[in-house]
Amino acid sequence: MTRMKVRIAISRDRDETFVYLPRTLIKKLKLPEGLPIRLKAGAYEQYVRVMSAPRLTDMRLSEGLLDRAGLEAGSQLCIRYKDRTLALGPLIGVLLRGVPSKNPERPFGNITSFCQELIQAGEQYGAQVFFFTPSGAADTASLRGWTFSGRWKQRRFPLPDVVYNRLTSRIIEGSEAIQTFMREAKSQGVHIFNERYLNKAEVFEALGKERGLSPYLPESYLYRNSAMMKAMFNRHPVLFLKPIMSSLGKGIIRIRKHAGGTFTCHFASPSGPPREAAYPSFAKLISGLSGKLKSNKYLLQEGLDLITVKGSPVDFRALVQRNGEGQWSITSIVARIAGSQNFVSNLARGGRLSPVPEALAQSNLNGMLQKKVRAELSKGALEIAKGIETQIDAHFAELGIDLAADTRGRVLLLEINSKPSKEDNTPLAPSDEPKIRPSVRRVVQYARFLGQF
């Protein structure tokens, strides 16, 4: 597709039914000069007449028209003409949990830099990005949001072409207000991606239906009763209980069965080493865990003999995103080495990032298996993303896929995060890399694909 972009400027003509374009662009787009056509930006539409003007190099619209269309003077947007509709965009709305900071220079707190990267990527690829919260989405006809043009400012926007859901609260995401917004937006043709959280049990049940993915799936079930756990211990000396609705390693319990029929539990803690508890029998173990098992739903999963670096377990985070052609592709894969005395590798739990080749070279895996694992990490991550697309009825465009490698060189799925942290999955890049991360570029490129720009 040949993409055309145009810079937006304010017209001196206050008549909102006229827009002005360079004559060369009018010819390229085959626009009917002087005749009424639809101008479209996101969900906003208005009939206008296109006119040319001498020595014009940008697109000029009246200030009132710019305001209602949610466009910013000075921005450079993609432009297309089809079926008597002149479209500008894409307009990308990023749905955030809230605005935690009163600092006008950092309105989104510690994710302000990420938001600025999205703005910059939008400028580079001819898209306009704005940010809105659940309170700003109460009226789908006019969203209240923020954008950046020299400074952060608040204004109104029409429904965008694309909504990138970055809500990080399951409660807010599942609220009636947000679900109503999602339904109304989709009914008007808005593309919403990463529209919901995944839970761990749902993921493994869905992927279990994909025959080709069985080599990547450790034995995993939604915990239902103690008999299930007892049967699992007949096959595996170590089991994990993972809350199906949590992330960042919160609430994970590792249970080890010893030769004498005793059990040791390690409970992941918010900070510091995990808490340990010993139980003399299976009955005592179940009694000791009863409070947690009644109050939370858990995924029961076989424990894996993970590769280690200096005794610390290692796993891998693959960031898999849809690209500008709509296809799944690997954006980055990094190794995560667990912190001292910890069995989870999340950065929030003291883990650290390492390039995959470096981590494998330092691990207890032999050279031949290291090469096999490197290839299988990419292959597995892509196949798993495609499996999610096939088996789960929701639109996802980026997935944080946590994988493990065991001492036999098998690559296995640990879990999938549909709202991957913008710190936890950051690729380890040289200091001279561009400021806009590849993961941020991919979001805008895919949004442009969805908007058909």
Phi, psi (5° rounding) for residue 125? -105, 10
Residue 24: in which H helix or E strand, if any? helix 23-29
Query: What mean pLDDT is predicted for residues 304-317?
Result: 92
Q: E-strand spans in 13-158? A: 18-21, 36-41, 44-52, 59-61, 76-82, 85-89, 91-96, 128-132, 143-148, 152-157
Amino acid at 445: Q
Question: Is the pLDDT assigned to residue 346 strictly greater than 60?
Answer: no
Whole-number Å distance between alpha carbons of 82 and 32 = 11
For 353-395, write each residue's pLDDT tens digit.
999 999 999 999 988 899 999 999 999 999 999 999 999 999 9
Question: Is the pLDDT assigned to residue 265 strictly greater than 50?
Answer: yes
Query: What mean pLDDT is predicted for residues 89-108?
Result: 87
For 318-340, write each residue's pLDDT tens digit.
999 999 999 999 999 999 998 65
Kindly list the distances between the CA atom of residue 280 and the CA atoms of 226, 259, 276, 285, in Å, as whole numbers in the listed order: 16, 11, 14, 8
Whole-number Å distance between alpha carbons of 233 and 135 = 48
Confidence of residue 447 (pLDDT cuts 50, 70, 90): very high
Q: Which of 56-60, 155-159, 420-424 has the lowest mean pLDDT?
A: 420-424
Residue that wins the pLDDT comparison between 325 and 430: 325
Instruction: Give the 3-state secondary structure of residue 191.
Output: strand
Is beta strand 312-322 parallel, antiparallel or unpaired with respect to 328-337?
Answer: antiparallel
Q: Residue 423: its pLDDT value, please?
A: 57
Nearest CA to 355 out of 314, 295, 324 is that of: 314
Q: Where are the domains of the chain?
A: 4-88, 91-193, 219-302, 306-418
CA end-to-end distance (rounded Å), the chain = 8
Q: Which of 181-185, 264-268, 411-415 has the lowest mean pLDDT?
A: 264-268
For 122-137, write each residue's pLDDT tens digit.
999 999 999 999 999 9
- Locate 25 and state its tokens: 């662009």
Whole-number Å distance between alpha carbons of 355 and 350 = 17
Question: Is the pLDDT assigned to residue 344 strictly greater than 50?
Answer: yes
Query: What mean pLDDT is predicted for residues 240-263?
Result: 90
Q: Residue 429: its pLDDT value, please?
A: 47
For 157-196, write each residue's pLDDT tens digit.
999 999 999 999 999 999 999 999 999 999 999 999 999 9
- Locate 364 and state its tokens: 């207890």
Question: Is the pLDDT assigned to residue 343 strictly greater than 80?
Answer: no
Q: Residue 250: its pLDDT value, please?
A: 83
Instruction: Give the 3-state secondary structure of residue 372.
Output: helix
Q: Which residues of 158-187 are buried (b: 16+ CB within 10 A; e: fewer)?
A: bbbbbbbbbbeeeeebeeeebeebbeebee
Nearest CA to 148 out of 176, 106, 111 is that of: 106
C-beta separation of 343 from 274 below 8 A: yes
91-193 is a CATH 3.40.50.20 domain: yes
Kindly list the distances between the CA atom of residue 232 and the CA atoms of 215, 223, 304, 396, in Å, as whole numbers in the listed order: 18, 11, 13, 32
C-beta separation of 311 from 433 below 8 A: no
The reply to whether omega before 420 is within 30° of 0 (cis) is no
CA 280 to chain centre: 43
Question: Is the pLDDT assigned to residue 427 strictly greater than 90?
Answer: no
- Please, which residues bridge with residue 343 across strands? none
DSSP secondary structure string, 39-50? Answer: EEETTEEEEEEE
Angle between the N-to-C axes of helices 112-125 and 438-450, in degrees from 0 to 180, rounded to the nearest 10: 50
Question: Is the pLDDT assigned to residue 22 strictly greater than 60?
Answer: yes
Instruction: Give the 3-state secondary structure of residue 325.
Output: coil
Question: Is the pLDDT assigned to residue 424 strictly greater than 50?
Answer: no
Burial zone of 50 (CB within 10 Å; 0-12 exposed, 13-18 middle, 19+ buried): buried
Neighbour count for residue 446 (Cβ, 10 Å): 24
- Mean pLDDT, the chain, whole residue set: 91
Query: What mean pLDDT is predicted for residues 19-23?
Result: 95
Percent of the chain surpassing pLDDT 70: 93
What fold, for 4-88?
A: Barwin-like endoglucanases (2.40.40)
What pTM does this model have? 0.91
C-beta separation of 6 from 27 below 8 A: no
For 195-210, write each residue's pLDDT tens digit.
999 999 999 999 999 9
What architecture (CATH level 2) is domain 306-418? 2-Layer Sandwich (3.30)
